[in-house]
Structure 1
Amino acid sequence: MNGPDWSDYQAFLAIARSGQLARAASTAGVNPTTMGRRLRRLEAKLGATLFEQTRNGQELTEAGESLLVAVEAMAAAAADIPETSGEGDGLSGTLRISVSEGFGSWFLARHVPRFREANPQLTLDLVANSGFLSPSRREADIAVMLSRPKVGPLTARKLSDYALRLYASPDYLAGREMPERPSDLVSGHVLVGYIPDLLYAPELRYLDEIHPGLAATIRSSSITAQRRLIANGAGIGVLPCFMAEGDERLVSVLPERRITRSFWIVTHQDTRQLARVRAFNQWLHESVRTYRHQLLPGT
């Protein structure tokens, strides 16, 4: 009997990373029937059950856990082949970067084209939404997160601090008294913020740091939507300075009440030495140093 095809191993890896057969099929661009057939073929050739079906999807068996280590090493080696196959052509392959919505949409979106121009053979996937893909599950090559992960086979390095302040629009403030102290926000003002039970990171709880008990009455899971609401006169809200400074539609409120958070750059231990991962890490650290004034105004 011939050994398993590499496509079968790729199917196994996709299911292991996503935890769901249907999600893995969607990511791979095949239908779930094809993905399931590849998995059954691999299990038959190996003589082992690799997943258990649970309410939440597929969970690795002990045999699956052992195979995952070997297949991830194979995938990492395969991913590195095009990077070293030619001289002077720059990086190639695909680099998937998971970032918070604000950092991805407002900071990286401004600067990442320079990295891509230097590496025209490289495909960049910029996943900027509410939540993070997991480097430990190989859902992303790099993640820029709001805290340092405490578990997993990961390498984490602090990228930068960044500042946040309260902002409002001139239209909203027209006819209202400008708040002079945090307690002025308790009544007489509309606050814009996150939906508490949809927060994907505790670092996004801001209003209690401004004044205990403050609560938003116009809420969104999207920081981009919050920014637009504030700019359109809906109320006062906390925004990262890199999203708000320089916009004439936004005015700083209680500017002395500055909140500081941090970005951490996270990679899997097994893939952090890939050329494209190393190159992007270096480029991102250099870009953050160059544009530090956008992240931390006044420094």
Structure 2
Amino acid sequence: MQVTDWSDFQTFLAVARAGKLALAGEALGMDATTVSRRLRRLENRLGATLFEQTREGQILTQAGERVLVAVEAMAQASRELETGRPDSGLTGHVRISVSEGFGNSVVAPNLGDLAARHPGLVIDLVATSGFLSPSRREADIAVLLSRPKSGPLIARKLSDYALRLYASPDYLAGRPAIKQTRDLKSGHQLVGYVPELIYAPELNYLSEIDADLVANLRSTSILAQHRILAASGGIGVLPCFMGDGDPALVRVLPDQVIIRSFWLVTHKDTHSLQRIRAVHTWLTETTKAKFKLLMP
């Protein structure tokens, strides 16, 4: 039975954290060739390919992710034995994929708290129109608009959130009064998504209010729609965590409420990694603390 040198596992861990052989070598005080040779030796002994070589660098395979869970636990235990006290210093890289609105309104303002808790972590917040896929390992954690129906994923409901119609007082002052949904169909500019570019069916808000409502000012970005509404460009649907916080906007037909849900999703192979669990917990706690903002 072959015994694997712990230094080979340390090399593996350095590459997993740095993502590139040269950067891992700098951290370890060795050249990239030596790092590569140690990785090959470890892979031969384990009988598995641990990394895929890409243009961006070294990407963990499924086998590599399973090994990483064990090696991070070993590294933590080693640090605790050396120091004689529990080790809480997480290191590594976590990429979070969220929608634009949630990312900019709820997650981004609180990222400083996450950094203070875990200063050794590098956090990527990808807040765009569309989502990166945990299933394809594009992101470590994703906050999605619906529960995934397939894939090697772990999903749990993060929170419900409410949406309403909003407009600026200046826009409403010069337009026909709105007392019911049918009043939106005449004499008003409606703001919404580009139908053929909607990246999730849950974003099709106007048709839920009334099947005949059609936006004539359209954008793929909820942030752009927000700007249009705040600049007196029309009436549109926004999450309450965006619309209620903008003094330039007021609710239109306030009894008309749309409810959606956020789902917190991770890959099964990396869900147990300490850094993933830590950010997962932080996202859950942060969202819970903002529940009144999400569901006013």
- TM-score where L is the length of structure 1: 0.75
Corresponding residue number in structure 1 for 2:6 = none
Secondary structure of the 2:223 match is: helix
CA change 1:141–1:168 in 2 (3 A) is same
Corresponding residue number in structure 1 for 2:212 = 213
Distance in structure 1 (CA, Å) of the matches to 2:99 and 2:202: 12
1:55-108 deviation digits (Å, cap 9, x = unpaired):
xxxxxxxxxxxx944234345556667666465453211111011111111110
Distance in structure 2 (CA, Å) of the matches to 1:231 and 1:133: 29
Identical positions, percent: 55
CA change 1:81–1:250 in 2 (3 A) is farther
1:190-235 deviation digits (Å, cap 9, x = unpaired):
0000001111100000001111110100000000000001000110
The runs of 5 or more residues in structure 2 that have no matched partner are: 1-10, 20-35, 45-59, 81-85
Distance in structure 1 (CA, Å) of the matches to 2:221 and 2:128: 8
Pairs within 5 Å for 1:242-261: 242-261=241-260
Corresponding residue number in structure 2 for 1:283 = 282
Secondary structure of the 1:73 match is: helix
CA shift at 1:283, angstroms? Answer: 1.8
Quick check: 1:89–1:121 contact (8 Å CA) kept in 2? no
Larger radius of gyration: 2
Distance in structure 2 (CA, Å) of the matches to 1:140 and 1:91: 18
Residue 198 of structure 1 aligns to which amino acid in structure 2? L
CA change 1:78–1:227 in 2 (3 A) is farther
Residue 198 of structure 2 aligns to which amino acid in structure 1? L
Quick check: 1:170–1:249 contact (8 Å CA) kept in 2? yes
Quick check: 1:192–1:226 contact (8 Å CA) kept in 2? yes
Quick check: 1:178–1:253 contact (8 Å CA) kept in 2? no
Matched, 1:70 2:66: no
CA shift at 1:246, angstroms? Answer: 3.0
Distance in structure 2 (CA, Å) of the matches to 1:130 and 1:76: 31
Secondary structure of the 2:158 match is: strand
Distance in structure 2 (CA, Å) of the matches to 1:78 and 1:135: 21
Distance in structure 2 (CA, Å) of the matches to 1:274 and 1:71: 12
1:148-174 deviation digits (Å, cap 9, x = unpaired):
001111000000000000000111111
CA change 1:218–1:82 in 2 (3 A) is farther
Pairs within 5 Å for 1:47-66: none
Distance in structure 2 (CA, Å) of the matches to 1:83 and 1:218: 54
Residue 64 of structure 2 aligns to which amino acid in structure 1? V
Runs of 4 or more consecutive aligned structure 1 residues displaced over 3 Å after TM superposition? 74-89
- TM-score where L is the length of structure 2: 0.75
Pairs within 5 Å for 1:192-203: 192-203=191-202
Distance in structure 1 (CA, Å) of the matches to 2:203 and 2:155: 20
Distance in structure 2 (CA, Å) of the matches to 1:272 and 1:72: 10
The runs of 5 or more residues in structure 1 that have no matched partner are: 1-5, 15-37, 47-66
Matched, 1:125 2:137: no
Secondary structure of the 1:189 match is: coil
Corresponding residue number in structure 1 for 2:293 = 294
Distance in structure 2 (CA, Å) of the matches to 1:107 and 1:72: 30
Corresponding residue number in structure 2 for 1:223 = 222
